[in-house]
Chain A
């Protein structure tokens, strides 16, 4: 059952030189208890999508949507005040850089107790006990002592654990993790990913993981949205995306990452060209200028979604019955 249902989301930023069309009409849903991944490169609109849903964008951003339904309520009609009561309570957030998202002037205890007191009305003492319990849950050693410390006394991995503890403090229905491990070293990343997996299993929370790293989501997520140029180009189960992808951009992404577990030295197949300028995004499919299978229609019109069954949706004109049949080039899976 869908916990979050977004349809027709458009986000634009009005800046000095023009209007950046960051998200250009996307629709998706997140089911209860689902671990979903949004992949895309920088500027693809993956972070802006979730920030728009949360109402966390600055003043100069304009968010339009046909509807954003979360747990039976319409978020797009809510006042900022009502939205704020959801933040941290029903929707938790984990950001990329734990140094800038924790306040350096307050102790960890201060920052952990705040949401518990505001949202759940706990007394200071009860909130402190809950904070200890949470630090224990995210496997931080010496929680008693750690509570009294400031963020700068924590390493990057430990800070991210604190962020996770705050995000899950009020047992939210959904957690949004925006590149939670990008700033961390690989062995620390492995620790954090393991922690997220354990928490998901224990709490049955929906998790939306935003990342540029296909490796991170391959082992974690059940469903994946691939974004490019402010639109979703393909969505489906992990196996649909990794083994049965149909969109040339998804092929391009898969072909351009090296595979350490393969014996022979394969040449990488890069995607030619550069991502579109979102001040003047192309009229048709945003990937058309870089696509080796581009047809005249691609430059004029965005492709409608084609349902290949079981929620595998592809937004590409090549899915049209009269379009030429092409297969994924480059590195082929056997």
Chain B
């Protein structure tokens, strides 16, 4: 896909919030709220890959699941092709499900072990009420599209390796010809040599079919390889967002800088020449977070203002957004 083609906004997310109540036990009067996603805004252009990175617990998976409405958001808007799908009831979401699908992290847990490959891949179409003959034909087309053979169709998931299972998961996601796919850590359970196979396939499918991806991963080197634009999340907030190249060369947020420098580089000379910023401490819990910037407890540049208000997301240069009181 060329730069010119990626201009139509497919999805716009405005101030998305997803809070979960935390139970302190039957007799406890304490009510806490886990703010998994707390005010995230971004847009996805048709045909692009938007990478979402962050460490475990930062809310990146919750964002992905909320966008395809596996969760009903606490607040905020999700404009999909102009319609706000955030407030829709489960039944009203169904027509949109045809247009958006998901690929899951664990290829072992995300395929029903009691279903054959052909019924797994056909399931989304069956739920959408496609005629059986059309499903059969489409399933045959899909299995070859993901590089498996049609005699694999009558087998069960346990007969396949991790990489092959992930291909089955991808075929299932493609079944209803979606415009948008959330890829939630699609390769982190796979071996290095198999990861590249799956990544290349996702790229080829995008070139051929023009699908928009939200690519969620903690592996910054893979995200930077596949994504056009990247958003960095920390504790339920988007802290920086830019074009991949821009983010790599001109990152501004102290967390992005630490995250970038922490990625192990598979090249001894480059690794020796680069400076590693080692953050102190752990990610705080997102339950009842204190006001202010979520990163301030680990930030080297923290000032008084950081403890008071959450920094607003602002555009520091065209297409480069940053939420930080100190930098930019």
- Whether A270 lies near B194 (C-beta < 8 A) is yes
- Whether B196 lies near A214 (C-beta < 8 A) is no
Contacts known (A187-B55, A194-B278, A260-B248); A268 close to B266, Cβ less than 8 A? no
A155 contacts B by Cβ under 8 Å: yes
- Whether A271 lies near B271 (C-beta < 8 A) is no
**B3 to A: closest C-beta gap in Å:** 13
- Contact segment of A7-15, A166-174, A249-257, A314-322: A249-257
B73 contacts A by Cβ under 8 Å: no
**B104 to A: closest C-beta gap in Å:** 19
CA distance A265 to B191 in the complex (A): 22
- Whether B55 lies near A258 (C-beta < 8 A) is no
- Whether B271 lies near A257 (C-beta < 8 A) is no
Query: A234-248, CB under 8 A of B: which get 1 and which 0?
Result: 000011001100000
CA distance A268 to B203 in the complex (A): 10
CA distance A276 to B251 in the complex (A): 42
- Whether B199 lies near A194 (C-beta < 8 A) is no
Contacting residues, chain B, for A258 (C-beta < 8 A): 199, 221-222, 224-225
Query: A266-288, CB under 8 A of B: which get 1 and which 0?
Result: 01111110110000000000000
B279 contacts A by Cβ under 8 Å: yes
Contacts known (A41-B193, A218-B265, A260-B263); A190 close to B221, Cβ less than 8 A? no
A259 contacts B by Cβ under 8 Å: yes
Q: Which chain B residues numbered 158 to 215 have a C-beta less than 8 Å away from chain A?
A: 161, 163-164, 191-197, 199-200, 203
CB-contact partner of B191 in A41, A189, A268, under 8 A: A41
- Whether A267 lies near B200 (C-beta < 8 A) is yes
Query: A78-99, CB under 8 A of B: which get 1 and which 0?
Result: 0000000000000000000000
CA distance A186 to B220 in the complex (A): 9
**B107 to A: closest C-beta gap in Å:** 13
CA distance A188 to B163 in the complex (A): 28
Contacts known (A186-B262, A242-B266); A218 close to B222, Cβ less than 8 A? no
Taking CB as reference atom, which chain B residue is nearest A255? B196
CA distance A265 to B97 in the complex (A): 32
Chain A interface size band reads 35 or more
- Whether B193 lies near A256 (C-beta < 8 A) is yes
**B156 to A: closest C-beta gap in Å:** 17
Interface residues of chain B: helix, strand, loop or mixed (majority): helix
A158 contacts B by Cβ under 8 Å: yes
Contacts known (A185-B55, A260-B224, A261-B267); A270 close to B259, Cβ less than 8 A? no
**A96 to B: closest C-beta gap in Å:** 14
**B247 to A: closest C-beta gap in Å:** 11
- Whether A242 lies near B196 (C-beta < 8 A) is no
Q: Which chain B residues numbered 249 to 282 have a C-beta less than 8 Å away from chain A?
A: 258-268, 270-272, 274, 276, 278-279, 282
Query: A195-215, CB under 8 A of B: which get 1 and which 0?
Result: 000000000000000001111
CA distance A243 to B271 in the complex (A): 14
Contacting residues, chain A, for B220 (C-beta < 8 A): 186, 260
Contacts known (A219-B271, A268-B196); A194 close to B276, Cβ less than 8 A? yes
Contacting residues, chain A, for B262 (C-beta < 8 A): 186-187, 189-190
CB-contact partner of A271 in B193, B199, B218, B222, under 8 A: B193
**A287 to B: closest C-beta gap in Å:** 10
CB-contact partner of A257 in B163, B221, B270, under 8 A: B221
Contacting residues, chain A, for B112 (C-beta < 8 A): none
**A302 to B: closest C-beta gap in Å:** 20
Residues of A within 8 A of B (CB): 41-42, 155, 157-158, 185-191, 193-194, 212-216, 218-219, 238-239, 242-243, 252-261, 263, 265, 267-272, 274-275
What are 27 A-B pairs with beta-carbon distances under 8 A? A41-B192, A41-B193, A155-B282, A185-B56, A186-B218, A187-B278, A188-B55, A190-B261, A190-B278, A212-B191, A215-B263, A215-B264, A215-B265, A215-B266, A219-B264, A238-B268, A239-B268, A242-B267, A257-B192, A257-B266, A258-B225, A260-B220, A261-B274, A268-B199, A271-B196, A274-B164, A275-B161
Beyond A242-B268, A258-B199, A260-B220, 9 additional pairs, beta carbon < 8 A:
A186-B262, A189-B264, A190-B262, A218-B265, A257-B192, A258-B221, A260-B221, A261-B274, A268-B199
